[in-house]
Amino acid sequence: MNLSDFFNSIFTASFVFVVIRVSIPLICASLSAYTANVSGLFNIAVEGIMLMSALMAVLGSYWTNSAWLGLLIAIATGVFMGLTIAFFSMYLGANSILVGIALNTFAVSFSVFLLYLFTGNKGSSASLASKVLPTVNIPIIKDIPIIGEIFSGHYAITYITVVVMILVYLLLYKTPLGMRIKAAGLDPEAARSVGINVNKVRIISIMISGVIGALGGAYLTTGYMSVFVKNMVSGRGWIGIAVQGMAGSSFPILIITTMLFSVFQAFTNIFSLYNLPSELINIIPYVAVLFGIIIFSISEYYRHKRGELDQ
């Protein structure tokens, strides 16, 4: 494949459309990790939350015969898992990272457990008549050339995610609660000294984290695909955590890095068409994050040399 073919493929409206479609679960994963970690309570279970929520969206819509109610059930699952992390780490003194790992491992097996229970199948939920959320064709916009192709016709959760993104930004950067959440994460002692209830703030954050993670998971089974498949999250949750590790508490960097990952994921579709090694392309964002961490650590190291040895 030559360069001009490649560029021809990516500079099209349909490519941008694909990027957006691919990005939503990644944005949800990053935002989920972000909203929790920014408060100081780490959510390593993003992958597990997305997986369980994906399944519950399917089961939920099957039980209630409504895709929207199914979504609600998925969201409740996400919140519940978030609260589990909060409960075990804040009140029972468990290490939040271990709790997250435990939940992830649990989700992998338990999702299959439930899947089998309700479908008799351990691979997919195809036998269930689960519902999907509608695809939204925005009136007027859909007819505008290029813009319409890019922005209209996405799954419902895509638009919900965009709204959520804006809400998260507004919350964290513009509201008192948001500032307190950030303070709790940056310096809980200082936060307490001005009367902030750090525990309460962290619980709120992880609940929001659970909601967003659930959104990402539900997206996979109510639009992107219409069934639940074993292990379908395929590491998107981990990408979210990686991105958040890079971005720290900066919302802009978080979104930009996530979109970068999405672009690369969209690339792999093209690359596989042309027999280029998608596995190597896939690792580029991880390499980028790794280098980011390395550079950061090295600079911190030299900053500390002229100070105290023990912090």
Partner 1 sequence: MNDTILKLDNITKIYGNGVVANKNVCIDLRKGEIHSIVGENGAGKSTLMKVVFGIENASSGTITYKGKEVHFNNSMEAINAGIGMVHQHFMLIPSFTVVQSIILGMEPVKHGIFIDFKKAIAETQELAHKYNFDIDVTKKIADLSVGEKQKVEILKTLYRNAEVIILDEPTSVLTPQETVNLFNELRKFKALGHTIIFISHKLNEVQQISDRITIMRNGESRGTYNNEDITLEKMTDLIIGRDLITDYDHLRCDFPDMTKIMKVEGMEVKHKTRYVLENVSFAVKRGEILGIAGVQGNGQAELVRCITGLMEATGGKVILNDQDITKYSIKNKRKKGLAYIPEDRMEDGIASPASLSDNIISTYYDRKDLNNKFFMVDKKIIKETEKLIEKFSIKAKNSKQKVGSLSGGNIQKVVVAREYNTNPLCLVAEQPTHGIDIGSAEFIHTQLIDMRNKGAGILLVSADLSEVMDLSDRIIVFYDGKIVAYIKDVKNVTENELGLYMLGVKHQTAEEIGGALND
Partner 2 sequence: MTKKPLKKISITNEFVFEIVKTLISILIALALTFVVLLLLSDDPVNMFIKMLTAPLTKVRYFGNVIEMMIPIAFSGLACSLLFRTGLFNLGIEGVYFISGIVTAAVACTAINSYIFHPFLAILASAIVGGLLMLISGFLKAKFNANELVVSLMLNSIFLGLGLFIIKNYLRGIDTSAIASPAFQETAMLDYIFPNTRITISFFLLIATTIFVYLLLYKTKLGYTIRITGLNKKFATYSGMSAFAIFMLVHFISGFIGGIGTSVELLSLYGRFTWIVLPGLGFTGALMTMLGRNNPVGVVIAAFGISYLNKGAEVMALGSNVPVEITAIIQAVLVLLISSQYFLRRWREKKLLKEGIANES
Among 102, 138, 225, 229, binds partner 2 (CB under 8 A): 102
- Residues 237-256, mask of contacts with partner 2 (x by CB under 8 A): -x--xx--x-----------
As a whole number of angstroms, the longest Cα–Cα distance in the chain is 65
Question: Taking CB under 8 A as the rule, does residue 272 contact partner 2?
Answer: no
Residues between 222 and 261 with contacts to partner 1, criterion CB under 8 A: 249
Q: Compute how many residues bind partner 1; rule: CB under 8 A.
A: 23
Regarding 179 and contact with partner 1 (CB under 8 A), the answer is yes
Neighbouring-strand partners of residue 154? 136
Q: Does 97 bind partner 2 (CB under 8 A)?
A: yes
Q: What type of residue is 81?
A: M
Site membership for partner 1, residue 174 (CB under 8 A): yes
DSSP state of 197: -
Rounded to a whole number of angstroms, the minimum distance from the CB of residue 112 to partner 2 is 5
Q: Who contacts 30 (Cβ-Cβ below 8 Å, separation ≥6)?
A: 239, 240, 243, 244, 247, 254, 255, 257, 258
Residue 218 near residue 74, CB atoms below 8 Å: yes
Among 2, 109, 193, 275, binds partner 1 (CB under 8 A): 193
Give least dist CB 198 to partner 1, A: 12
Residues 6+ apart with CB under 8 A from 113: none
User: Does 93 help bind partner 1 (rule: CB under 8 A)?
Assistant: no
Residue 290 as a binder of partner 2 (CB under 8 A): the answer is yes
Separation of alpha carbons 192 and 205, rounded Å: 17
Polymer length in residues for the chain: 311
Give whichever of 141 and 166 is closer to partner 1, judged by the CB atom. 166
State the binding partner of 306 from partner 1, partner 2, none, CB within 5 to 8 A by kind. partner 1
CA distances to 3, 229, 247, 254, 282 from 34, in Å: 36, 26, 9, 8, 22
Interface with partner 1, residue 309, by CB under 8 A = yes
| Residue from 107, 64, 57 nearest 84 by CA | 107
Q: Is 163 one of the binding residues for partner 1 (CB under 8 A)?
A: no
Residue from 26, 72, 99, 232 touching partner 2 (CB under 8 A): that is: 99
Do 23 and 186 meet the contact criterion of CB atoms below 8 Å apart?
no
Is residue 108 within 8 Å of residue 51, measured between CB atoms? yes
Binding flag, residue 67, partner 1 (CB under 8 A): no
Nearer to partner 2, 171 or 289 (CB): 289
Q: CA angle at residue 262 from 251 to 52, to 5 degrees?
A: 85
CB atoms near residue 62 (< 10 Å): 17
Give the helix/strand (H/E) hosting 195: none
Closest separation between CB of residue 238 and partner 2, Å?
6
Residues that bind partner 1 (CB under 8 A): 170, 174-176, 179-180, 183, 186-187, 189-191, 193-196, 249, 305-310
Residues that bind partner 2 (CB under 8 A): 84, 88, 91-95, 97-99, 101-106, 108-110, 112-113, 116-117, 122, 231, 235, 238, 241-242, 245, 277, 279-280, 282-283, 286-287, 289-290, 293-294, 296-298, 300-301, 309-310
